[in-house]
Structure 1
Amino acid sequence: MFDIPEGKRLVLFDGVCNFCDASVQRILKYDKNNLYVFAALDSKTGSAVQAHLNLTSEAVDSIILYEPGGSCDIKSTAVLKIGTSFGGFWYLLAIGWLVPRSLRDVLYDWVAKNRYRWFGKRAACRIPTPVEQAKFLP
């Protein structure tokens, strides 16, 4: 099916979206506890996880946070969980938990809908550097 390293959380992302790529770069930079691994939504791993979770591209097309044996979060909830896990000033994102999910997801969906127009997209996923390669699943 799919193989996620023990103790890791998988972030599935839109591999051709420049905004999504910048977000992955930010996670790589601030993930001091080495919690996250990554896969593009349309990769072998991404497709297998989405099938396992019965998620379709219509339901979510830009981020999924999957914790094996734990939870699956999408949209604004995934963003808040990832951001607050960094600690430090990032914990200020916890204020977002005070906003009802339905309202957070309206904002999330608006940004997701416009992300290609605002930030552009690539013809293909960016190739990770040799240092990053271990954090990216096929």
Structure 2
Amino acid sequence: MQNTDPTKYYVLYDGDCGFCNFWVQWILEKDEKDRFMFASLQSPFGQEFLKERGLETQDFNTLYLWKPQGFYLVKSKAVVEIAKILGGTYGFLARLNFLPVALTDVIYDKIAANRQKLATESCLLPTPEQRKKIIS
């Protein structure tokens, strides 16, 4: 894919979702080690990611965490891995890894199905430094 950095983790999310944008902003604020880049699933970058893997290109209910030349994780596994990468007080979420994915993905799907109701009215307004981490 275009200009990817193999040292970064790429978070692909629903760019039209206020709830998702809230969590992108949260990760941006907690990413003290500059490990994450972001792209909406609707963006050319996001669409290319989905097409290259034969994934659905019109359903944006799934969060993806991708490491170039490596792996990608979906839904609850992506959430747990993001927490693990952030470490510190957020690393406790990595302990949820012992739960079956079928169970944690059911919880993820319930939240995803209701995310528009959970959304705040605020928009993501990244700082100039954070804007460098968002791929279109």
Distance 1:127 1:50, change over 3 A: farther
Give the aligned partner of residue 76 of structure 1: 76
Moved more, 33-42 or 4-13: 4-13
Report how far residue 126 of structure 1 moved. Answer: 4.3
Distance 1:54 1:120, change over 3 A: farther
Question: How many Å separate the matches in 2 of 1:3 and 1:121?
Answer: 33
SS in 2 for 1:131: helix
Aligned partners of 2:39 and 2:135 also within 8 Å: yes
Report how far residue 40 of structure 1 moved. Answer: 0.5
Fraction of identical pairs, as percent: 34
The residue type equivalent to 2:114 in the other structure is: N
Question: How many Å separate the matches in 1 of 2:49 and 2:29?
Answer: 25
Report how far residue 58 of structure 1 moved. Answer: 6.7
| TM-score of the two chains, using structure 2 as the length reference | 0.90
The 5 Å alignment of 1:1-138 reads 1-57=1-57, 61-119=61-119, 126=124, 128-138=126-136
Question: How many Å separate the matches in 2 of 1:57 and 1:96?
Answer: 29
Question: How many Å separate the matches in 1 of 2:26 and 2:78?
Answer: 14
* Count of aligned pairs between the two proteins: 136
SS in 1 for 2:15: coil
Aligned partners of 2:13 and 2:20 also within 8 Å: yes
Aligned partners of 2:47 and 2:57 also within 8 Å: no
| TM-score of the two chains, using structure 1 as the length reference | 0.88
Distance 1:4 1:121, change over 3 A: farther
Distance 1:76 1:36, change over 3 A: same
SS in 1 for 2:128: coil
- Root-mean-square deviation (CA, aligned residues, Å) is 2.0
